[in-house]
Amino acid sequence: MSCKIPCLRWHSFHTHKRGNAPDEYEDAFAGDANTARFAVADGATESSFVAAWAKLLVEGFVAAKGRSWRKLDWLGPSRQNWADDIDPLPLPWYAEQKREEGAYATLLGVAFSCGRNGRLGGSWRALAVGDSCLFRLRGGQLVKSFPLVRSSEFGNQPALLGSRGRQVDTPTQGIQLARGRWRPGDRFLLMTDALAEWMLRRHEQEQRPADDLAQLLVGSEPQDAFAAWVEERRIGQGLRNDDVTLVVIDL
Amino acid sequence: MPYSAEINRSNPTCFVFLVDQSHSMLKPFVGQPDKKKAEGVADAINRLLQNLILKCAKSDGVRDYFYVSAIGYGGTVGSALGGGLAGQTLVPISAIANNPLRVEQRTRKVDDGAGGILEQKFKFPLWVEPKGTGKTPMCEALRLAKQYLDVFLGRFTDCYPPLVINITDGMATDGDPRTDAQELQKLASSDGNVLLFNAHISASQTLAVEYPSSEDPLPDNFAKLLFRMSSVLPPRLFEAARADKFPIQPEARGFVFNADLVSVVRFLDIGTRVAQSVR
């Protein structure tokens, strides 16, 4: 059903939490324009070896074309890869205990398909575990927010996918699915929680956050400007100090 | 809003543990002639330290979100820490993590995921040994905590307010501790006043009370006095306790009777948490 979407363009942006070192960034993102699959993940601060797990999650999702959306059977190999890398490490007692608990991260993934018979546009499907969010913009207007729709819904205990593969590590009730149609000219934004919360709060305040982002994206060096853009909003607009990741997909 | 400062390595907060090490702690728990109260107290403080460390442990080490002091009070009043930390007053949590007195190998029973139980080995580090001598100079310990926190708050003026956790079996022998408790609670950062929480370990282990909002369920005057000394949970800690399914009411206080205060460590916000039910 899916096909290469010729008009698809995507960009990713990220910055680390203020006060942390750049290599302490624990979000992750991945995308593949050929399969039209994209994902972001946010590693839980209170777990260890989490950057590796977040990266395995987004890469696992992007590579899982044709796999079940409900069973998430692609998680098995990702978990095995995490264990293969982490379990042999010699560690002090505290890191050993955290390793036993496993790493945890949110995941938001989206896949796009072409319409049949040359129709313009097509369909999209998304998967969310936790509070990383997808926003769909049409004509600069926010027309879809998933899985959270209000800024008040964010907390510090979202649903998470765990690296250990116990029953609790794939929280059945925390897995949310959505689908819809896309049209040429649509823009999809994938964000980890701090930026998503800012986006929804600014939208609730009728501050047109999508325009604010659009201005960043039309700049000459948006990648270089992203960290400063985020910092300005941390200081002036209550954007929570956290790792920040944004994937922009233009169709 | 008070009690909302971000806890991070450049703006850490502080825990001061007051550990009752008086002679009365050598008495056993009712129904457990082989277990002294001093062992219960040592278990409590060691579990608190472990949980603080695990909260800050990352793959590359332990991040210093917390400074820790442990003051023992009994025959003497002073640092309850030994080994490489002996005599130190305010210690970064990474130094606590790397300097236990010893690490014991213990076993616990866990669900094997297939309807059975299996024994799992785990490492159990210890920093404080069971001890019981002399009287109960709780007032002096509260005053020493105040001295330490004066220093800490002079350095970290905007920190999340420090938490003092007093673990005891009851009665101070050097005066009414409420006065010194109030003096301690008057200390403040720009984010709010110092919090004093109390864990009362009684000889009888039949009744457990966690975060009560009134003293009515408490069985004796010692417990009621400690309840009155305890700070009300700030809103975010209250909400975190609710989220963890504690059946608490408004004006709940940082007081537990025959229970531990490990949950307080979970309630503190340093970033995305993993639900307790998952661990």
Residue A1 confidence class, pLDDT cut points 50, 70, 90: very low
Q: Which of A93, A157, A167 has its CB closest to that of B275? A: A157
A170: DSSP letter: S
Peptide bond into B12 cis (omega under 30): no
End-to-end CA distance of chain A: 17
Percentage of the residues of chain B whose pLDDT score is greater than 70: 96
SS3 labels along chain B: CCCCCCCECCECEEEEEEEEECHHHHCEECCEEEEEHHHHHHHHHHHHHHHHHHHHEECCEECCCEEEEEEEEECCEEECCCHHHCCCCCEEHHHHHHCCCEEEEEEEEEECCCCCEEEEEEEEEECCCCCCCCCCCHHHHHHHHHHHHHHHHHHCCCCCCCEEEEEECCCCCCCCHHHHHHHHHHCEECCEECEEEEEECCCCCCCCEECCCCCCCCCCHHHHHHHHHCCECCHHHHHHHHHCCCCCCCCCECEEECCCCHHHHHHCCCCCCCCHHHC
- Mean pLDDT over B262-275 rounds to 76
Point out the residue among B9, B50, B274 whose CB comes nearest to the CB of A104: B274
Q: Tell whether the model's pLDDT for residue B113 goes beyond 60.
A: yes
pLDDT, average across residues B73-80: 94
CB contacts under 8 A, A 192-221 vs B, are: 193
The verdict on a CB contact (< 8 Å) between A44 and B274 is yes
What are the chain A neighbours of B269 within 8 Å (beta carbons)? 156
Closest chain A residue to B53, measured at CA: A94
Kindly state whether B105 is in contact with chain A, defined as any CB-CB distance less than 8 angstroms: no
Which of B99, B278, B279 best tests the A interface by mutation, with the highest count of A CBs <10 A?
B278
- DSSP label of A238: -
Q: Is A67 helix (H, G, I), strand (E, B) or coil?
A: coil
Summarize the confidence of residues B181-203 as an average pLDDT.
94
Which chain A residues in 18-47 lie under 8 Å from chain B, judged by CB atoms? 19, 24, 42-47
Q: What chain A residue is nearest to B124 in terms of C-alpha separation?
A: A93
Q: Which of residues 48-87 of B touch A (CB under 8 A)?
A: 50, 53-55, 57-59, 61-62
pLDDT at residue number B118: 83
Tokens of B193: 């006043």
CA gap A172, A71 in Å, rounded = 9
Q: In angstroms, how far is CA B98 from the centroid of its own chain?
A: 19
**Average model confidence (pLDDT) for chain A?**
93
Task: Name chain B contacts of A104, Cβ cutoff 8 Å.
Answer: 272, 274, 278
pTM of the predicted model as reported, rounded to 2 decimal places: 0.89
Tokens representing residue A181 in the block: 């149609």
**DSSP E strands: which ranges in chain A?**
9-15, 27-32, 37-43, 104-114, 122-129, 133-138, 141-146, 161-162, 175-182, 187-191, 244-250
Measure CB to CB from residue B274 to each of A155, A160, A166 and give the nearest one: A160
The predicted model gives B28-49 an average pLDDT of: 86
Residue A19 backbone zone (phi > 0: left; psi -120 to 50: alpha; other: beta): left
- Per-residue pLDDT of B151-169, as tens digits, reads 999 999 999 999 999 999 8
Q: Which residue of A has its CA nearest to B275?
A: A157
- A46 and B55 within 8 Å at the Cβ level: the answer is yes
pLDDT band at A60 (very low <50, low <70, confident <90, very high): very high
CB contact under 8 A, B57 and A98: yes
Which residue among B9, B58, B274 sits closest to A19, beta carbon to beta carbon?
B9
At A203-243, the pLDDT tens digits run: 999 999 999 999 998 888 888 899 999 999 999 999 999 99
Higher-pLDDT residue of B40, B238: B238
Select the residue of B54, B61, B274 nearest A97 (Cβ to Cβ).
Answer: B54
- Cβ separation of A92 and B97 shorter than 8 Å? yes
Bridge partners (DSSP) listed for residue A187: A137, A250
B68-98 in b/e form (b: 16+ CB < 10 A) is bbbbbbbeebebbbbeebeebbbbbbbbbbb
| Partners of residue A48 in chain B, C-beta under 8 Å | 57-59
Contact B276, B254 (CB under 8 A): no
Query: Span B175-204, mean pLDDT?
Result: 94
Note the pLDDT of residue B126: 94
Quick one: what percent of chain A has pLDDT higher than 90? 80
Of A24, A45, A94, the CB nearest to B62: A94
Q: What is the pLDDT of residues A6-36, one digit of tens each?
A: 789 999 999 999 999 999 999 999 999 999 9
Span B102-111, average pLDDT:
84
Helix spans in A118-221 (H): 193-204, 209-217
CA pair distance B255, B225, nearest whole angstrom: 11
Question: Helix B138-155 vs helix B177-186: angle between axes, to the nearest 10 degrees?
Answer: 0
- CB of B98 within 8 Å of a chain A CB? The answer is yes
Model pLDDT, residue B264: 82
Is the minimum CB–CB distance between A166 and chain B shorter than 8 Å? yes
**DSSP structure class, residue A151:** G
Residue pairs between chains A and B whose CB atoms are closer than 8 Å: 84
Q: How far does the CA of residue A173 sit from the closest CA of chain B (Å)?
A: 13
Cβ of B58 and A167 within 8 Å?
Answer: no
Query: What pLDDT score was predicted for residue B170?
Result: 77
Are B66 and B148 a contacting pair, CB within 8 Å? no
Residue in B98, B103, B272 closest to A42 by CB: B272
User: Which is more confidently placed, B227 or A156?
Assistant: B227
The answer to whether the Cβ–Cβ distance between A156 and B98 falls below 8 Å is: no
**Interchain CB distance below 8 Å, B274 and A92:** no
Residue in B104, B18, B22 with CA at minimum distance from that of residue B68: B18
Residues in B closer than 8 angstroms to A95, CB to CB, are 57-59, 61
pLDDT band at A118 (very low <50, low <70, confident <90, very high): low
CB contact under 8 A, A46 and B98: no
Other beta carbons within 10 angstroms of residue A145's beta carbon come to 18
Residue of A nearest to B98 (CA): A92
DSSP-derived secondary structure letter, A17: P
Most confident by average pLDDT, B76-90, B106-120, B180-194, B243-257:
B180-194
